[in-house]
Structure 1
Amino acid sequence: MPDWSYQTIFRPLLFRLPARVSRSITLGAMGAISRLPGGSFVIRTLGHMELSPLLERQAAGLTLLSPIGISGGVDPSGVAHKALAQFGPGFMEFGPVTITAIRSDSKIRNDSASEMIYYPDYFENDGLTAIAERLTRREHKLPQFARLTALPDASTDEAIEQLSEMMDKLAKAGAAGFYMDVASGNRSWDQVLRIGESLSRLQDTVDLPLFLYVPLSLSEDRLLELWNGTKEVRWQGAVIGEAWLDQIGVERVAYASKFSETAAEAAMNEDSAREAVVGKKGLAATLDKTRLLRDRMGDAVTIKAGGGVHEPLDALQLLEAGADLIMLHSGLVYSGPGLPKRINEAIIYETVRDKPPPAPIPFWRNWGWMCLLGIGMIIGGLLAWWIGATDVLLSYDTRFLGMSIDEIHHVNHNLLHFMSHDRITLAGTMISIGILYYQLAKYGLRYGQHWARTAIVTSCAVGFSSFFLYLGYGYFDPLHALAAAILLPMFIFSLRGHTDRPSRKRVNLRNDRAWKLAMWGQLCFVALGFALTAGGLAIAGVGITDVFVKADLAFLGTTPDQLNDVNPKLISLIAHDRAGFGGALLCDAIAILIIALWGIGEGERWLWWTLLIGGAPGFYAGLSVHYGIGYVDFMHLLPAFVAVFLYIAGLILLYPYMMRKSPI
């Protein structure tokens, strides 16, 4: 469920459902896909979530592949942790965890206008036993932290005993560390401090890092008092929670505290005080607490924060304020599952932007050969177009048939037109492929972009393999063989000495209108890529089996048997053209699909022009030749019309995003 499908299709549908239902459907579907054979690979492929070494962080003696973590509130039952682990995080959280399960059937409120989620019970979870079992399963390799809190009404002694038991059991289950949440619940502040002080005794029972969990609604004075009162604990750092009490409960507590501590404690016991609010408005409080903790604690401790992070700019602000690691919760709901990747890309850009650029890759090392291959494809396409628009057949074609062009025309006056239609559509596709390869080499391979190399290598592998489709009916085309023999070494030389490099171009930081429109544009091109892939497979399949579809035979006004009776080699020649076009279309489609999945980015002007210029020859050739020869069957051309619509709509929707000149 990448952002281009989440923002455009799934989010509008899911937000119409009750929040609990939509959460259950989403997590259940993602979890089911991740557990299928190859499911995790599909999730990573659709989102291109591979992590750069530049993202690696050290925290509490652990190596994290990314500074991004997923909050336990996103998937409290751990249904989709295996799927979420593919989104680009470096660690995961379970929590809150209490000694026994706390259930709630009350409504979760989703205020999409202000991007706020209201959970009816801050402590809702499946309990220690169930969570320990999930940790034991180890569905992924990321470190998993557990946020521990005593039952909200537990006494001081009961709370200490519960925390001790949970630490022991979850440590054995494989937890990487614990977030100790002692400030939440229906206890007096004196009880909170006594529980905090007792943690120094508990830390010796497990050899795992401990973090102080700081509820977002905790005042700064009490935060400092709690930190100072637990100095005997060997804290590895602090975790600033993403949730705070509902506004009514907070106001009542604040009002009561002006008069007496007892009144404030009484207000905390109200049911409304257990409602947790998570959302965009939490960013300001998170920034304040991050700055305070960094100022008072220095650089020796790790600070994890993430309340209100809904776009990459929010995460960068927290990192600048002093956070080391980012926790995501509501941002995944409102921005989509691509948010970790977008934040990771922003962090990489901030890491490399001021560093000297690496030495340029020499032309003849790899990318130059691919540029030449692209130029070769363009020249070959232009030549094939000229042949298809004039004589249609070459001398070796007529020798293979043992017939002259006039004799072929006498057999069926539409036959040469039909073969011209196949060859011109192939020519337009070849030109399109050549433009894509040249641009991907010049602006992608040249700068060590992994996605561009993947697009070229995958497309070329399919393209050169499709040469064997030409032989399906026993016709060997010497010109195609010569072209393949010339271009194949260029492809091989282009594979030499590749080193992936981080992009030095700016990345998107905001969920603004241009980005949201771009999600629709990206959806159009992904759909186009899949449609052309299906079309290429279908045409190649027809070319090596039945050769004709019903509309073809209706246009020709004949049958395969009648053509065979005239000359058995006619169908072999036509099959060669059809299979060749199908293979070329598949080659083109794969390049477009990978560009659409992985290459779309803010300010990537060259790629927008590549899509525009690269697609034009293929569409023009396909439509113009059909109308030129009078082959205008509506159902036959309908897929082409749909493809043109997706192509034009995608370009229009992507224009504001990809053609930006300066970051916002």
Structure 2
Amino acid sequence: MYKKLIRPIFFLFDPEKIHYFTFSILKVVSKIPLLPFFLRSFYKVKDKKLERKLFGLTFENPVGLAAGFDKNAVLYNELANFGFGFVEIGTVTPLSQIGNPKKRLFRLKDDQGIINRMGFNNNGIASAVKELKKNKGKIIIGGNIGKNTTTKPENYTADYLMCFEGLHPYVDYFVLNVSCPNVSSHAKLEDAEYLKELILEVKKMNNKQAVQKPILLKIAPDLNKRQLDEIILLMSETKLDGVIASNTSVNRKGLIESKKRLEIIGNGGLSGKPIKSRSTEVIKYLADNSGKKFPIIGVGGIHSEKDALEKLDAGADLIQIYTGFIYEGPSLVKRINKAILSRV
């Protein structure tokens, strides 16, 4: 029904506008008595064999929703009804920011991909905390954090620490987003020495808390082998809890979309099917060359059960979907979980 009826209608409209329209619809329909119960009954696959225990958390199933979908933590309770094992909110920055100028979100229908240059548009830490206080405890929540666009390089760490401290009581794990291609002046975040400094400062703050929360690093799919080796070394030196591989890509090779339209679209991070293979390669390289010393959450181009199983076979412990959720619909979560069960 989704691909034949709902998606064609949605795809008639601007991607960003229909995204927020969908949020409004889900908010309204979720208030209909018993509907959330029926949604959970239809989409949720409950089986102990799906459980995954990682960095001190028990995930009901290994399929999560990636950051960027629910930036402001306004829909995670409703999204829990679609069978996800966890939802990652954000990217959250200390202060509210509007992000990059519109139009900034583009569908590549023939490629089953999306290009975005949103620029960390979000309502800021205070708004996220307000929404997270409404948590009904139905699902594990990850907090993806970043810096404000106008923050000077010498204050990057302070931005991350502010987000970490503010969200700490309300999320189950953290993700340091240092690999988004859609924010300006982020070159410092790609420097291994600075990353080590940032991670250690965040860990220092974490150690001061009564309860320590897992901290993960989200990396780009465009890193070469030398850079991936640096990530493996960084993980060893800092004892970080895990890696999310991977973020969106700036690579445009092999796309069906015309060069003319790609030029019109301009800069942005590519997600969806076009980055599937590269994301899987990064996961496999990290797993193989680290001796599987740290957990990996695999994300990038998962549009089917087969895509999900490939990520898991490559070394991912958990997976996340985003663009696949948009193209394939909510039934994708259920299909993936059933496919995982069929192999147990």
For the aligned pair, the TM-score class normalised by the smaller chain equals 0.7 to 0.9
Q: Secondary structure at the residue paired with 2:67?
A: coil
Q: 1:241 aligns with which of 216, 240, 246?
A: 246
Cα offsets for 1:258-293 (capped at 9, x unmatched): xxxxxxxxxxxxx955x2221111111111100111
Residue 168 of structure 1 and its aligned partner are, at CA, apart by 0.7
Contact 2:88 2:141 in 1 (8 A): yes
Residue 141 of structure 1 and its aligned partner are, at CA, apart by 2.1
Q: Secondary structure at the residue paired with 1:308?
A: coil
Q: Which residue of 1 aligns with 2:323?
A: 330
Q: Which residue of 2 aligns with 1:393?
A: none
Taking a change above 3 Å as real, the CA distance of residues 287 and 190 of structure 1, as seen in their structure-2 partners, is: closer
Q: Secondary structure at the residue paired with 1:245?
A: coil
Does structure 1 residue 110 correspond to structure 2 residue 107?
yes
Instruction: In structure 1, list runs of 5 or more residues that go unmatched.
Output: 249-270, 352-664
Taking a change above 3 Å as real, the CA distance of residues 230 and 349 of structure 1, as seen in their structure-2 partners, is: closer
Alpha-carbon distance between aligned partners in 1 of 2:151 and 2:232, rounded to the nearest angstrom: 22
Q: Secondary structure at the residue paired with 2:217?
A: strand
Taking a change above 3 Å as real, the CA distance of residues 76 and 115 of structure 1, as seen in their structure-2 partners, is: same
Alpha-carbon distance between aligned partners in 2 of 1:103 and 1:139, rounded to the nearest angstrom: 28
Q: Which residue of 1 aligns with 2:291?
A: 298
Alpha-carbon distance between aligned partners in 1 of 2:74 and 2:5, rounded to the nearest angstrom: 22
Taking a change above 3 Å as real, the CA distance of residues 191 and 333 of structure 1, as seen in their structure-2 partners, is: closer
Residue 122 of structure 1 and its aligned partner are, at CA, apart by 4.1
Aligned pairs, how many?
Answer: 322
What letter corresponds to residue 234 of structure 1 in structure 2? K
Contact 2:116 2:270 in 1 (8 A): yes
Alpha-carbon distance between aligned partners in 2 of 1:301 and 1:40, rounded to the nearest angstrom: 36
Q: Which residue of 2 aligns with 1:162?
A: 159
Taking a change above 3 Å as real, the CA distance of residues 287 and 20 of structure 1, as seen in their structure-2 partners, is: same
Q: Which residue of 2 aligns with 1:83?
A: 78
Alpha-carbon distance between aligned partners in 1 of 2:131 and 2:188, rounded to the nearest angstrom: 33
Alpha-carbon distance between aligned partners in 2 of 1:347 and 1:178, rounded to the nearest angstrom: 26
Does structure 1 residue 215 correspond to structure 2 residue 220?
yes
Instruction: In structure 2, list runs of 5 or more residues that go unmatched.
Output: 207-211, 254-264
Taking a change above 3 Å as real, the CA distance of residues 293 and 205 of structure 1, as seen in their structure-2 partners, is: same
Identify the range of structure 1 (211-220 vs 91-100) with the bigger mean alpha-carbon deviation: 211-220
Q: Which residue of 2 aligns with 1:285?
A: 278
Residue 48 of structure 1 and its aligned partner are, at CA, apart by 4.2
Residue 348 of structure 1 and its aligned partner are, at CA, apart by 0.1
Q: Secondary structure at the residue paired with 2:218?
A: strand
Q: Secondary structure at the residue paired with 2:313?
A: helix
Alpha-carbon distance between aligned partners in 2 of 1:101 and 1:246, rounded to the nearest angstrom: 29
Residue 346 of structure 1 and its aligned partner are, at CA, apart by 0.1
Map residues 408-557 of structure 1 onto 2, 5 A cutoff: none
Taking a change above 3 Å as real, the CA distance of residues 220 and 106 of structure 1, as seen in their structure-2 partners, is: farther
Contact 1:200 1:230 in 2 (8 A): no
Q: Secondary structure at the residue paired with 2:226?
A: helix
**What is the TM-score when the length of structure 1 is the normalising length?**
0.46
Alpha-carbon distance between aligned partners in 2 of 1:220 and 1:148, rounded to the nearest angstrom: 26
Higher relative contact order (CA 8 A, sep 6+): 2
Does structure 1 residue 350 correspond to structure 2 residue 335?
no
Taking a change above 3 Å as real, the CA distance of residues 129 and 216 of structure 1, as seen in their structure-2 partners, is: farther
Alpha-carbon distance between aligned partners in 1 of 2:187 and 2:10, rounded to the nearest angstrom: 40
Contact 1:200 1:232 in 2 (8 A): no
Does structure 1 residue 43 correspond to structure 2 residue 39?
yes
Q: Which residue of 1 aligns with 2:302?
A: 309
Q: Which residue of 1 aligns with 2:126?
A: 129
Q: Which residue of 2 aligns with 1:204?
A: 204
What letter corresponds to residue 249 of structure 2 in structure 1? W
**What is the TM-score when the length of structure 2 is the normalising length?**
0.86
Alpha-carbon distance between aligned partners in 1 of 2:297 and 2:332, rounded to the nearest angstrom: 17
Cα offsets for 1:466-499 (capped at 9, x unmatched): xxxxxxxxxxxxxxxxxxxxxxxxxxxxxxxxxx
Contact 1:182 1:192 in 2 (8 A): no
Q: Which residue of 1 aligns with 2:192?
A: 193
Residue 183 of structure 1 and its aligned partner are, at CA, apart by 4.0
Alpha-carbon distance between aligned partners in 1 of 2:40 and 2:280, rounded to the nearest angstrom: 31
Alpha-carbon distance between aligned partners in 2 of 1:21 and 1:189, rounded to the nearest angstrom: 33
Contact 2:218 2:244 in 1 (8 A): yes
Q: Which residue of 2 aligns with 1:34?
A: 30
Cα offsets for 1:425-449 (capped at 9, x unmatched): xxxxxxxxxxxxxxxxxxxxxxxxx
Q: Which has the higher helix share?
A: 1
Residue 140 of structure 1 and its aligned partner are, at CA, apart by 4.1
Contact 1:240 1:286 in 2 (8 A): yes
Q: Secondary structure at the residue paired with 1:343?
A: helix
Contact 2:144 2:175 in 1 (8 A): yes
Map residues 130-149 of structure 1 onto 2, 5 A cutoff: 130-149=127-146
Q: Which residue of 2 aligns with 1:175?
A: 171
Q: Which residue of 2 aligns with 1:657?
A: none
| Structure of higher CA gyration radius | 1
Taking a change above 3 Å as real, the CA distance of residues 188 and 21 of structure 1, as seen in their structure-2 partners, is: closer
Q: Which has the higher strand share?
A: 2
Alpha-carbon distance between aligned partners in 2 of 1:332 and 1:190, rounded to the nearest angstrom: 29
Cα offsets for 1:616-659 (capped at 9, x unmatched): xxxxxxxxxxxxxxxxxxxxxxxxxxxxxxxxxxxxxxxxxxxx
Does structure 1 residue 99 correspond to structure 2 residue 104?
no
Cα offsets for 1:33-68 (capped at 9, x unmatched): 2234323113224x2424211100001110000001
Alpha-carbon distance between aligned partners in 1 of 2:112 and 2:228, rounded to the nearest angstrom: 27
